[in-house]
Amino acid sequence: MEIGFIGLGAMGRAMASRLLSAGHRLRVWNRSPGPARDLAAEGAQAVGTPAEAFRGDVAITMLADDGAYRSIGLAGPVLDQAPRGMIHLNMATVSVELTRELAAAHAERGLIYVAAPVFGRAEVAAAGKLTIVAAGPEEALDRAAPLLDAMGQRTWRLGPEPTQAAATKIAGNFMIAAAIETISEATTLAARHGVAPETLLDLLTSSLFAAPVYKNYGAIIAGRKYQPPGFRLALGLKDVRLALAAGEAARVPLPFASVLRDAFLEAVAHGDGDLDWAAVAEVARRRAGSDGAAG
């Protein structure tokens, strides 16, 4: 299949590499050209503009936030040059509002918009084990299935409206952020009563909380190993804000999301925005006047 790929951060780079390995032809573009050059060495074609990537059968985007989509013209100008019937798979986490806007802009131009955001960090993407949540026209999902299968271990089809996938991804990231905050506060509490974070988490993730989120983020928090970031804390703040915005638009109160926003904002204010988002644990430790050591 002839594919364009825009956005080659850690996640996008790994996903594009999976598509190349599956035998697909890729045109790739990134704001900083280094990752595109690296993929060109693997057989991709590096192009000079986003519009050049929006040709062929499918275009895939994996950009950081709403602003990035608007800044390179994906809410309008780039679409004007795309061939009618082309599928755009947006695999990033963006707002419900932008999702609705993009779906309308594509429909006006005879293009097909599918929201297909992913759960999983860069190492999961490299292994082709992402969990993908997708929503859009069924025929488009069928056409895109070989690409989704190359990048993920399972694709959950959620319905015909792209906003269904966007809201699901936002809700999932809200739950992950909540779990990280819970681990942060619980380990700080136990530490102040003489129980090492490692001990508490070994006990709990071997019994009541034997789930990947608690195991993986628990290990990061216990070891305070926030570099290199699997997902930057500043992006975590962005996603919590997306949850609050989606809740407000649908008249759904999310009181704990406000708590999370303040914790993540405090972490960013302390200069931790480029660390892994598990570094929000340091906010709980600072508030307790503790360095996290047992006792």
At position 39, the amino acid (one-letter code) is L
To 5 degrees, how large is the angle CA 113–CA 85–CA 25? 85
How far apart (Å, rounded) are the C-alpha atoms in residues 294 and 273?
Answer: 26
C-alpha distances in Å from residue 101, one per residue of 68, 75, 105, 224: 15, 7, 6, 40
3-state secondary structure (DSSP) of residue 291: coil
Write out the catalytic residue numbers. 169
Q: Give the DSSP H/E element, type plus range, for residue 27.
A: strand 25-29
At position 17, the amino acid (one-letter code) is S
Question: How many other β-carbons are positioned within 10 Å of the β-carbon of residue 283?
Answer: 23
207, burial (CB in 10 Å: exposed 0-12, middle 13-18, buried 19+):
exposed
Instruction: DSSP for 224-258, please give it.
Output: T---S-SSBHHHHHHHHHHHHHHHHHTT---HHHH
Residue 158's nearest CA partner among 136, 130, 131 is 136
Take residue 228 and report the two structure tokens written for it: 């290199």
